[in-house]
Structure 1
């Protein structure tokens, strides 16, 4: 049978496709923009037909309707990243969170430690040889497709065809053709705080560096200030719209990358239609599995690797909390530790935790992100042994190779003014001396 005939025999309606999910199945959803909305909606609409189906995913941009309390007999969400749509279910004990480094997810699927009975994801229409692209999300999705007993895809002609990995029609079981707009993440608002943090980050980035950048105001501010750098490369968990500006200016070339020279190497894309159009059929953008892109042993081989990540909180030792708020699971570790460790092992590598020194509550209260002790119940995302630089709008605190006393002094220097006295008091209590700024 030729691939065209295979294709025709796999086409079905959303309702027919999800009817092949069985009681007790573990269903993996495509990651982020790869989440197949039409299929998820059909599955939720068919909830009465299931009992004990487990839903796994990392970043989810959909409604998360399967996590609703009235569907608890039919579905249990078991995410590896606590997106907004499942946080309440986790807090209320109706969903089960799995802590895991991003690069390990496909490895655990391959080993069978993360069961995957069914994969539901998006793919592009086939090319002339019967090969589809996973488009925006290769990450763990590629391995899930190889491991799943049943593969159900939403074939979307609005998904960009990206280079890196291919999927043949013969690997798909059920195909639902659905031309629907992709999920988009609008560019963040960049204020004075983000610009100040970005300026400090840029001071550590040399020409010919290879960058890992995320999404949000701080990465976008960093990108805006790199226009005078030369021959930067991208080896990153993801890229967003801001990267396009640097590419178009000729700042990003990949000339000095050790691996995948001349390419922007990522494991998923998340931004606006502008980004997806940029990546479509662009041989300079490679979207590859996360157990390659994020693996610290791969990251460490990149030339002048610079990793920039964020945090919710740090204590005076430099312990980083990035995925919990107290006992509340807020997100997930994602690729932070993957890149922090990879950059630390790289020749001339640097890892940066960049965050505002404070967050302001709706009632006007200022909460410092630099604290004497992390909140009760909070999980340490990145250990004090891994931390290199911590940056706020107030400056750069160097951590690597520093004593606990030196770390605390450096962090007090970049803390918000409203908490410096509290931090100095804790410093004196802990180290039996006043910080240098208090000495007469």
Structure 2
């Protein structure tokens, strides 16, 4: 049996250790799965996962997920998610759900098959929830300020999970013209709504991830979920004017190629939707792919490197890079000009 995990904040409680008969893989290695060894990294973006499901390359036998309580017609949904799970459930032999008593329906959430098996009912949480990212600091705020200066009027913004995206959300308070078109709605997006950053437009995403308060907010707000086949489609995103993707990095080379997966030989994150958003933003009229990164790591080592091998993002998709020292636009620059421009902000 091969068990494939999606994004996790906390380690799973496994009944036994991985072995020759029981193996574990994931599309998103990271925080909740770092203690599991061995683990296989299935290196696909969300668009790639969808393509693998459609082609049959990836065909799950069982999908295990959370779901809402049944409505008056006895129907359940995934509550705050569509992602690629709509495709996975349609192709799986069995769908097993954990019913979450407090989980609301958010517009567009994927319906669960009527013949699903209900494994258990989870009550409302009683303790604090674990966030995906640590609190941002002054350096993150300076990076965010430089990103804000790059945004066009009325941007359609893809904002990910992390310290810099959280800081950026705060820096846009009162702006009033930001539309959200993103992979995941986080507490930062709810904060933007409260702070007057958002335009009067539907928030579009493939998921809402956070504490119960966030999902309950999204259920009552103008939030509409769609499948990864749309939200993570570079061609569809490229047709959205002023689409701006703000993406994180662990290192960048002089050509603008980006690594957001590896620290040394250790894989700490997955492709996620980054390549899909980057390609879409690069193709969008007045759009922009912005890579946001602190100039050095926790040990003071520069994140500007000679060469990024097997990059997460091709430098051709990257329109700008921002650090705490400034931001540079790379579009149209020759290779030597790119290297000099990047060296000035690292």
Structure-1-length-normalised TM-score: 0.73
Structure 1's 188 and 305: CA in aligned 2 closer, same or farther, altered over 3 A? Answer: same
Residue from 305, 314, 321 that aligns with 1:371: 305
Q: Match of 1:17?
A: none
Asked which structure has the greater RCO (Cα within 8 Å, sep 6+), the reply is 2
1:310 paired with 2:244, answer no
1:404 paired with 2:335, answer yes
Runs of 4+ in 1 over 4 A off after TM superposition: none
Q: Match of 1:97?
A: 41
Task: Give me the whole-angstrom Cα distance separating, in 2, the residues matched to 1:249 and 1:303.
Answer: 24
Structure 1's 84 and 223: CA in aligned 2 closer, same or farther, altered over 3 A? Answer: closer
Q: Match of 1:144?
A: 88
SS at match of 2:336: helix
SS at match of 2:315: coil
Q: CA deviation at 1:228?
A: 3.5
Residue from 97, 104, 115 that aligns with 1:153: 97
Larger Rg: 1
Task: Give the aligned CA root-mean-square deviation in angstroms.
Answer: 2.1
Q: Does the aligned pair in 1 maintain the 2:79–2:110 contact within 8 Å?
A: no
Structure 1's 74 and 183: CA in aligned 2 closer, same or farther, altered over 3 A? Answer: farther
Task: Give me the whole-angstrom Cα distance separating, in 2, the residues matched to 1:95 and 1:73.
Answer: 12
1:394 paired with 2:325, answer yes
1:58 paired with 2:58, answer no
Q: Match of 1:163?
A: 107
1:221 paired with 2:160, answer no
Any idea what the Cα deviations from partners look like across 1:66-119, whole Å, max 9, x if unmatched?
A: 496x441442012111123434545xxx32211111122133123211120000
1:127-206 aligned at under 5 Å gives the runs 127-167=71-111, 170-181=114-125, 184-185=130-131, 188-206=134-152
Structure 1's 385 and 166: CA in aligned 2 closer, same or farther, altered over 3 A? Answer: closer
Q: Match of 2:206?
A: 267
1:331 paired with 2:307, answer no
Q: Match of 1:413?
A: 344
Q: CA deviation at 1:318?
A: 1.3
Task: Give me the whole-angstrom Cα distance separating, in 2, the residues matched to 1:196 and 1:172.
Answer: 48
Task: Give me the whole-angstrom Cα distance separating, in 2, the residues matched to 1:401 and 1:58.
Answer: 37
1:98-137 aligned at under 5 Å gives the runs 98-137=42-81
Structure 1's 60 and 299: CA in aligned 2 closer, same or farther, altered over 3 A? Answer: same
Q: Does the aligned pair in 1 maintain the 2:82–2:110 contact within 8 Å?
A: no
Q: Match of 1:346?
A: 284
Q: How many residues align?
A: 344
SS at match of 2:41: coil
Q: CA deviation at 1:283?
A: 5.4
Q: Does the aligned pair in 2 maintain the 1:187–1:241 contact within 8 Å?
A: no
Q: Match of 1:278?
A: 217
Q: Does the aligned pair in 2 maintain the 1:299–1:342 contact within 8 Å?
A: yes
Unaligned runs of 5+ in 2: none
Q: Does the aligned pair in 2 maintain the 1:320–1:384 contact within 8 Å?
A: yes
Task: Give me the whole-angstrom Cα distance separating, in 1, the residues matched to 2:267 and 2:15.
Answer: 15
Structure-2-length-normalised TM-score: 0.92
Q: Does the aligned pair in 1 maintain the 2:67–2:112 contact within 8 Å?
A: no
Task: Give me the whole-angstrom Cα distance separating, in 1, the residues matched to 2:145 and 2:221.
Answer: 31
SS at match of 1:132: coil
Structure 1's 165 and 268: CA in aligned 2 closer, same or farther, altered over 3 A? Answer: closer
Q: Does the aligned pair in 2 maintain the 1:241–1:274 contact within 8 Å?
A: no
Q: Which has the higher helix share?
A: 1
Q: Does the aligned pair in 2 maintain the 1:78–1:96 contact within 8 Å?
A: yes
SS at match of 2:191: helix
1:81 paired with 2:28, answer yes
